[in-house]
Structure 1
Amino acid sequence: MKQLEETKSNGLALIPFLLFIVIYMGAGIILQMRGVEMAFYQFPSVVAMSIAVIVAFVMFHKAGINENFATFAKGAASEDVVTMLMIYLLAGGFSAVAGAMGGIESTVNLGVSIIPAHLLTAGIFVISAFMATATGTSMGTVGAIVPIAVGVVDKAGLSMPLVMAACMSGAMFGDNLSMISDTTIAATRTQGVELKDKFRTNFWCALPAAIIALALLVAFGRPEHAVAIPAGNYELIKVVPYMLVLVLALLGINVFLVLLFGIVSAGIIGIACGDLTVITFATNVWEGYKSMIEVFLLSMFGGGVAELTAKYGGLQWMIEKLSGICKGKKSAQAALCVLAGVTDMATANNTVAIIVDGNMARSISEKYKIDPRKTASILDAFTCIFQGMIPYGAQFLLVASLTKGRVSPLDIIPLLWYLFLLGLFTVLSFLIPSYEKLTLPGEWDWENHTVIR
């Protein structure tokens, strides 16, 4: 923070990041107007960020390419960024191996088999929430759950928009809380906090929201006809790796060890059950790594551009402008909520939004003495909330595809009760002192950047 205060304010230094958003969003809007499917995901985010990198080097050319590259490399290879990159790779490897050995199928079928007939809609929310929390992917959850849900909507006399809202809400619940979600990884590493601490902060906002949403789904989601969802076969042993990762992470075990245990346990179970061989196990680990290449490079490039932006006064300018709006700690946290939501609407990608906002949010957090656990929680919660509500987001586009256009985003959005409630409880958690204390056990030690229990 001291370094930022000594930097001369310069709003033009933010142009590279703004250019990235304009290119990424502009390409999406143009392709959407042309009727291209998944329009906001056609232009590679890494290419857009690469253009931002080039523009930054051109803008700050007076310092010389060697000095600018040294600054860029400092940001791209900072401890937080490298830690984030390694976690991305391991999370991708775990997700791929666990999926290949049948973990996703068994998890879904297990949940489906135990849902009482009169709780079908609420059950969809619970299954989606568990699966997304265990796998760290809202897209994977929507892809796995929606086809099953569509199959029983008409048969049971259920509301298609409400069931899709339940699935979307559960998927975003897990995306927000999962220890291996790329949004969680980005939020915690950019703010320098532990995964378990951010989880606990988020959990006390997500829990009441989920309970109320469940009650509403039970009340308004009862089927007209009693029917059970046809469940497939499942093996409990294949759910173990997901449970292992969740439990070990909550116990505070080092995240690298947690993910390594998850990969190894999924591999052993897969080989023992005949779903994997040593070769296919290794292949799937590699495929998982490759699935993270985009967010890996985006985080690295984004870290480098952020360092250049900070050095040449961009972050200092933004903080000065926000200071005119923020009158204190509470209003600064409200500003973070708006920043996260607006950036997600612009990028249509919650992980990208967190990466873009990360350094700026950390500077605001330090200036107004906002507990970094809360900052990470706000970034993750509000990007997930808006990601779950924008009609052009990947999740909604996938729902539209899987339901073959039978339901409109405008029908679903008013029924996303959990997301509205999550936003409400997140805001209340910094407006009400006693609630804030519940979500933030212990005090943050600003000197040592750790929690004093």
Structure 2
Amino acid sequence: MKSKKGNFWALLPLIAFILIYFTSSVILNDFYAVPAIVVFMVALIIAMVQFPKVSFNAKIEAFCKGAGEETIVLMILIFLLAGAFGSLGSTTGAVASTVNMFVSFLPPGFIVVGFFLIACFISVSIGTSVGTIVTLAPIAVEMEKMIPGSMAMLLGAVVGGAMFGDNLSFISDTTIAATRTQEVDMKSKFKANFKIVLPAAIFSILLYYFLSQNFNVVNIEGKNLDYDLLTIVPYLLVFGLAIGGVNVIWSLIIGILSFLAIGIFYQSIPFLELVTSINNGFTGMFELSILCLIIGGVVGIIRYNGGLEYIIEKLTKNIKSKKQAELSIAGLIALADAALANNTIAILIVGRVAKEISNEHDLEPKRVASILDTVSCFVQGVIPYGAQILAAVAVTKIAKDNTFMVSPLDVISNLYYPFLTGICVLIFILFINKKSSKPI
């Protein structure tokens, strides 16, 4: 795809999306009143009719290349597998067993903290925030029956913990993208990154603990909370395989097969019922998958027309110090992720520019990689149209009347970890600097 000079008007499709989506959502007080996928289709039409001098075939080619980015296709595959894995967990009773085991061993005051910590553990293990959310969100919804009023906070804890692993996991796409673009090893990036987010994680734990002390637990006293450890094995298996370095796709496939084996040979569930469950899991992820394709395609056209170059030019000029350079990189990745709603793609787009800025101003590659990853995960974790928030809210849908028990704003208002990481990375840039900036 040929290089283009920066062009502000190439950003019109994204500007239109933001104006239409946010304005309508704020007016109607409902982020689902106008589906994001419909608004992005409007943005796509705008991108297609813009700049009449550019041939339609060139725009189609740019769209297809953008939609066909390796990271997008890989993400969709993970979406589908995670959806099937989560659906089978419900069908085999693994979700209910996990809920009962949680309640049996955790005091009520520690349940929200427990969800945050297990989300951290799972996301670090499997390297995908969406996979973590799809796995744990149904359990959080089930907990509402036992702890009324806890759903929004539990989902906030799950999303926050999921972003912890998305940022730190060695097998996360964002980690791979950040380290590769900055030519730094993962271990060095992990050490620098962990120092940034550890205070945010600790403070989040304290907040969730103190804010959840007023919950009243019902339907537990005198009730036998049965759980079957064997049905929970696929969860442990997936986590263990991921920790052992097995690719998340293979980990999820093995987890799905283990659920099938348990369902058929241990629980005598009809094979057709299990297949239907897998299909339901796939179906639940179709809208997110299509949305990712459209976003990638629209960004492909915008990139072709010089929109991204315009952003880069405006954010990177007049840099005179290392702090300014790092702040410019942070601002660029934040803006890119807010516009794209995909932190991996945002890092891939901004990564090369960040490397040029890093080389020119003698920045530490591990610092730059950490800033790219942490800021992108901060923004990705709090935007209401991001896959993470959408996946968390999607499991609260009530089929009979097509409504949701919580809204994206309900979850965001209970998100602490992503916002705290944003504060921590700003402190890191402004006040924690090292004299040595030699590449690793």
Q: Normalized against structure 2, the TM-score is what?
A: 0.73
Asked if residue 259 in structure 1 is aligned to residue 252 in structure 2, the reply is yes
User: Alignment length, in residue pairs?
Assistant: 397
Matching residue of 1:36: none
1:174 and 2:161 matched: yes
Partner residue, 2:126? none
Per-residue displacement from partner, 1:378-437 (whole Å, max 9, x unpaired)?
Answer: 21233324659xxx99979979x99999xx969x95x865455433334445556689x9
Alignment of 1:394-405 (within 5 A): none
Cα displacement (A) at 1:40: 0.7
Offset of 1:309 from its aligned partner? Answer: 1.0
Q: Evaluate the alpha carbon distance shift between residue 237 and residue 396 of structure 1 in structure 2; reply closer, same or farther with a 3 A threshold.
A: closer
Aligned to 2:303: 310
Conserved? CA contact 1:141–1:171, under 8 Å: no
* Residue of structure 2 in register with 1:136 after alignment: 132
After TM superposition, list the pairs within 5 Å mapping 1:271-310 onto structure 2.
271-274=264-267, 276-310=269-303
Do structure 1's residue 123 and structure 2's residue 111 form an aligned pair?
yes
Q: For residues 267 and 207 of structure 1, do their structure 2 counterparts lie closer, same or farther at Cα, with a shift above 3 Å needed? A: farther
1:184-243 Cα shifts (integer Å, max 9, x gaps)? 97756876869x989887665554433344345556765799999557321112222222
* Partner Cα separation in structure 2 for residue 307 and residue 272 of structure 1: 48
Identity of aligned residues (%): 27
The 1:382/1:66 distance shift into structure 2, 3 A limit, reads closer
1:54 paired with 2:45, answer yes
Higher mean C-alpha displacement, 373-382 vs 9-18: 373-382
Out of 362, 365, 379, which is 2:354 matched to?
365
- Say whether the 8 Å CA contact 2:393–2:404 is kept in structure 1: no
Task: Please give the secondary structure, in 2, of the residue aligned with 1:56.
Answer: helix
Query: What do residues 261-311 of structure 1 show as CA deviations (whole Å, max 9, x unaligned)?
Result: 121112212223327332122222222111111121111111111121111
Q: Given that residues 142 and 395 in structure 1 are in contact (C-alpha distance below 8 angstroms), is that contact kept between their aligned partners in structure 2? A: no
Using the TM superposition, name which of 59-68 and 221-230 deviates more: 221-230
Separation in 2, partners of 1:404, 1:9: 41
Alignment pair present for 1:17 and 2:14: yes
CA distance in 2 between partners of 1:294 and 1:97 (Å) = 19
- Structure-2 separation of matches of 1:58 and 1:220: 51
Q: How does 1:69-88 map to 2 (within 5 A)?
A: 69-88=60-79
Q: CA RMSD, aligned part only?
A: 4.4
Conservation of the 8 A alpha-carbon contact between 1:396 and 1:409:
no
- Amino acid in structure 1 at the alignment position of 2:99: V
Q: Name the aligned partner's letter for residue 37 of structure 2.
A: V
Q: Whole-Å Cα distance in 2 between the matches of residues 232 and 193 of structure 1?
A: 47
C-alpha distance in structure 2 between counterparts of 1:372 and 1:417, whole Å: 23
Cα displacement (A) at 1:8: 0.9
> 1:176 is matched by which residue type in structure 2?
M
Q: Deviations over 1:112-153 (max 9, x none)?
A: 11124xxx3233221354268476227535423333222xxx
The amino acid that maps onto 2:90 is G
Once residues 148 and 240 of structure 1 are traced to their aligned partners in structure 2, the CA distance between those partners, rounded to angstroms, is 24
For the residue of structure 1 that corresponds to 2:106, the secondary structure is coil
- Aligned counterpart, 1:155: none
| 2:77 pairs with 1:114 | no
- Evaluate the alpha carbon distance shift between residue 279 and residue 121 of structure 1 in structure 2; reply closer, same or farther with a 3 A threshold: same
- 1:77 is matched by which residue type in structure 2? G
Aligned-pair CA distance for 1:318: 0.4
CA 1:256 to 1:394, structure 2 compared with 1: closer, same or farther past 3 Å? closer
> SS state of the match for residue 170, structure 1?
helix
- With over 3 angstroms needed to count, the CA separation of the structure-2 counterparts of 1:53 and 1:189, relative to structure 1, is farther
CA separation of 1:427 and 1:248: change in aligned 2, threshold 3 A: farther
Q: SS of the counterpart of 2:246?
A: coil
- Unpaired segments of 5 or more residues in structure 1? 33-38, 151-159, 345-350, 445-453
Structure 2: gaps spanning 5 or more residues: 124-130, 359-364, 398-402
Structure 1 residue matching 2:267: 3-state secondary structure: coil
Contact 1:330-1:431 within 8 A present in 2 as well:
no
Deviation at 1:363, TM superposition (A): 5.2
Match 2:379 to one of 361, 379, 382 = 382
1:355-381 Cα distance to aligned partner (Å, 9 max, x none): 885665445534434645642332123
Find the residue that maps to 2:242 and give its secondary structure.
Answer: helix
Q: How does 1:144-223 map onto structure 2 within 5 Å?
A: 144-150=142-148, 167-177=154-164, 187=174, 205-215=196-206
Cross-structure match for 1:339 = 335
TM-score after normalising by structure 1: 0.71
Question: Is it true that 1:236 corresponds to 2:229 in the alignment?
Answer: yes
Deviation at 1:312, TM superposition (A): 1.1
Deviates more, 1:39-48 or 1:230-239: 230-239
What is the identity, as a one-letter code, of the residue corresponding to 2:423? L
CA distance, structure 1, for counterparts of residue 268 and residue 116 of structure 2: 24
Cα distance 1:383–1:10, how it changes in 2: closer, same or farther (>3 A)?
Answer: same
